Chain A
């Protein structure tokens, strides 16, 4: 459909919303994606997806309902509206003395306008042949050692066009392009198998940008090192255990921020709305403004305006304008991630602008935008290592696990190196570390400076029922933590959050 006809479709739909409906909104989402992967000299996957449809959310009869259809005709959209109303009104009324969920929503200036994310080179205008040549050259550069069982290079391009309208008068459109990729080498020898990735695990580096972002990664130049490190890990000693001074590389730190800060600060989780699946949070809404989440160097923001971020947009999926919010300032919790309903539930005047939906067939829920640990003043990574003296440096996430309250975690990394006399030393394999969120963030004592700060994209954040996958970014610079438990263990028994509930000074 053309942009004009999509607008007509939405305006026709909102024109027939029954008077009994407190609120209605609709999103038409048109998404194109292309995923290419090469493995061991051959093309392993080459897939394109084109999806389009309309999702309708209403509040009717004191409850919320959502319905979606891929048939983009006025009749089908009206059918989805009717279905959304039907499922909303079929829900049981709260028992006496209980308030309905999200009976109020924060007010918002109706979103109007158009926006597009910056994209220098449209990835969909780059031929498949060019992409394949690029990936095959990078993948081939990992060849040479017979112990490399799998060499892989991949790229991903996604273009999403969203048109949003609501009974509050919103009508806006935005187009967002994501592009990126990465490398992975799997080395196998006997009973040992080790993986090394570049620039990061789990799909590489993806940003809100065009093909230029993939080119900037210089995959082929990094490929030989990736293969060498995978092989070296096979015979590296197992990572030592025990409490150590730990320096985390930026990419691993990004996932640490994601799991232990971002999810813990989703207001719907705090309110119990995600209890049945993703879980709750160890943090309560009443903690905002006073909870000591971490140490003085801990400054965390949520910023949907950051250039290149996968959590960057002009308006969220409730039509709330993008914004930058300070979440943690000097270790003290200042705000949570919210949408219009959760913000209203705790009496906030404004939504945090964090409502996001995974395509047309999912309703918006509270999501991270770009949640970042702000840079500190520790200088370069070399400066930080020199200041550290002895410890461990861990880099590139391999596995992650955290409890349903986002308190106790355990992460594994692809690689660890000793820090000896202020420099990186020998390699270790099978590194992991564990901790308890506030205790861990309380042990933060240095963050590298702005030149070391990077945005790291994460493609696979899961939440919601039915499940929704969301792409987010996290800005980090390498940082140092004291007394962290390394090895399978840590996060010992006993609650620690009680000690964090002290008033901010």
Chain B
């Protein structure tokens, strides 16, 4: 076994094999390790080492794409041929709207690679699992969770002369501590390297959420809420697609249609897409090879911008240009996306301080199964999970049965009263398909009028 070739060399070779025409080649080499555990014993371990080659061909504003995993010359040539024929077939239906591949542009570096993490040592995973199980055991609890680390190399070449390469690592761990009755607490850590995931510390944090005593119920209604970092991150992740997707905005279905320049959140709310912010999972360029750069989205509560890839910018017109947010070569049919959201912190020292003014309200660790109820108003529904508490007389008082909420993310931001100064990277680390680590840097916050619509 010789091992895969250098991604940039391979991307150059495939571009040459494509034999001319407007072409972009993307090579992604993923190495990763994912270990799961339940009941404090390991359940699954998955080690991956795969290369994917994607070829995008452009003919008369129409695009065609093809991908493969085999790296022999014949397969690579055939893949380039499939992409070309697809674009030609599309062009026979008439000219398309794709304005052409982006010109090469200089981008900045980042510190998103950690050599120790890239070793993907199975022993590190085993040690983290053992540490989490041991710490949970100290509290008389079981631990469930996942530990994962990855090393992803990406290279893009194009007929416009683009030749860029990037390498990022990531690590994430989620720990749930559970008692015999099934009550659970949750904690997670994520970052560019193994230093961000401490199995024992996460287990202790999760165990602190497993509080004995009868869980209270809550009638539907509007309540003051303290949302921990994980919950805030999940809401912002959804908002990214609903409000800042330039294609949705151009099609008139985005949550900021007619609201750019208007106040959409409380004063002091600062939200940006910041690919090199400390603590985020950085990358050098988007899926079209356009350099990543910071983009303010909400400034002092006022909506400022949406994001674009080349395709959505062409549809939007009016001088719009790619902002480096393409999710797929040629731009995704569903539009661009924010993958490095950062919500600026506030002045609160802790979540306890956030809860202090609340007479009766809710504390939520984590939200689950968020989905859109009404796109234009950024109205979501979802449930709390693994760490929901009743706040009484300014104290996080006792466990609460999980709740269903139905509320608008923008309304929650408009009703935000305070944020913690400490931020945390919130990363789902789901990794469907090829690994693409991303996350939102978020503080915890307090908001008024959080709309509970049911129990869970």
Contacts and interface: CB of A to CB of B under 8 A. Distances in A.
Contact of A48 (B43, B65, B133, B218): B65
Interface of A, secondary structure class, is: mixed
Given A73-B1, A92-B130, A361-B48, A410 B41 contact: no
A128 B178 CA distance: 53
A402 B369 contact: yes
Nearest to A432: B373
Contacts of A276: 36-38, 144-146, 174-176
B372 interface: yes
Contact of A465 (B148, B217, B220, B382): B148
Contact of B372 (A46, A87, A88, A399): A399
A490 B383 CA distance: 13
B45 A466 contact: no
A496 B430 CA distance: 31
Contacts of B385: 279, 403-404
Contacts of A63: 42, 45
B402 A37 contact: no
Contacts of B402: 403, 408
A44 interface: yes
A83 interface: yes
Contacts of A65: 45, 47
A101 interface: yes
Interface string B88-104: 01101110110000000
Given A90-B122, A192-B376, A465-B148, A67 B48 contact: yes
Contacts of B4: 71
Given A45-B333, A52-B70, A399-B381, A467 B432 contact: yes
B129 interface: yes
B94 A42 contact: yes
Given A66-B46, A408-B454, A401 B382 contact: yes
B58 to A, nearest CB: 12
B133 A492 contact: no
Nearest to A72: B70
B63 A46 contact: yes
Given A48-B82, A400-B371, A493 B219 contact: yes
Given A43-B93, A70-B51, A410-B406, A79 B1 contact: yes
Contacts of B144: 272, 275-276
A223 B386 CA distance: 45
A410 B125 contact: no
Interface in B73-120: 75, 79, 82-83, 85-87, 89-90, 92-94, 96-97
A434 interface: yes
Contact of B435 (A72, A403, A466): A466
A490 B48 contact: no
Contacts of A275: 38, 144-145, 176, 178, 184
Interface in B24-43: 32-43
B368 A403 contact: yes
B19 interface: no
B66 interface: yes
Contacts of A280: 182
Contacts of B373: 399, 412, 430, 432, 488
Nearest to B311: A44
Contact of A98 (B39, B50, B89, B123): B39
A301 B376 CA distance: 39
Contact of B69 (A41, A52, A132, A466): A52
A75 B70 CA distance: 15
Interface in A265-281: 271-277, 279-280
Contacts of A161: none
B456 interface: yes
A63 B372 CA distance: 40
Contacts of B66: 47-50
A94 interface: yes
Contacts of A38: 93
A356 interface: no
Interface residues of A, number: 97
Contact of A193 (B43, B92, B376, B381): B376
Contact of B68 (A50, A136, A399, A434): A50
A494 interface: yes
A410 B333 contact: no
Interface residues of B, number: 102
Residue with the greatest number of chain B CB neighbours at <10 A, chosen from A43, A79, A149, A186: A43
Contacts of B51: 70
B49 interface: yes
Nearest to B65: A47
Interface in A62-114: 63-73, 75-76, 79-80, 83-84, 86-88, 90-92, 94-95, 98-102
A100 B435 CA distance: 29
Contacts of A271: 38
Contact of B44 (A41, A149, A279, A363): A363
A7 interface: no
A188 interface: yes
A408 B453 contact: no
A296 B46 CA distance: 43
A495 B454 CA distance: 12
Contacts of A99: 41
Contacts of B454: 408, 410, 434, 489-493
Nearest to B32: A466
B93 A132 contact: yes
B272 interface: no
A111 B26 CA distance: 39
Contacts of B218: 493
B100 to A, nearest CB: 15
Nearest to A127: B89
B45 A87 contact: yes
A70 B433 CA distance: 14
A351 to B, nearest CB: 17
Nearest to A468: B432
A407 B454 CA distance: 12
19 contacts: A37-B333, A43-B62, A46-B65, A46-B87, A64-B42, A71-B4, A71-B71, A86-B122, A101-B39, A150-B251, A271-B38, A272-B39, A401-B382, A408-B402, A408-B454, A408-B455, A434-B453, A465-B148, A491-B455
Interface of B: 1, 4, 32-52, 62-71, 75, 79, 82-83, 85-87, 89-90, 92-94, 96-97, 122-123, 125-127, 129-130, 133, 137, 144-146, 148, 174-176, 178, 182, 184, 217-220, 251-253, 333, 368-376, 381-383, 385-386, 401-402, 404, 406, 429-433, 435, 453-456
Given A69-B49, A95-B137, A467-B431, 16 more contacts: A42-B94, A43-B90, A47-B65, A68-B46, A70-B69, A98-B40, A129-B92, A149-B253, A188-B251, A192-B376, A276-B144, A400-B371, A404-B386, A488-B381, A493-B217, A493-B455
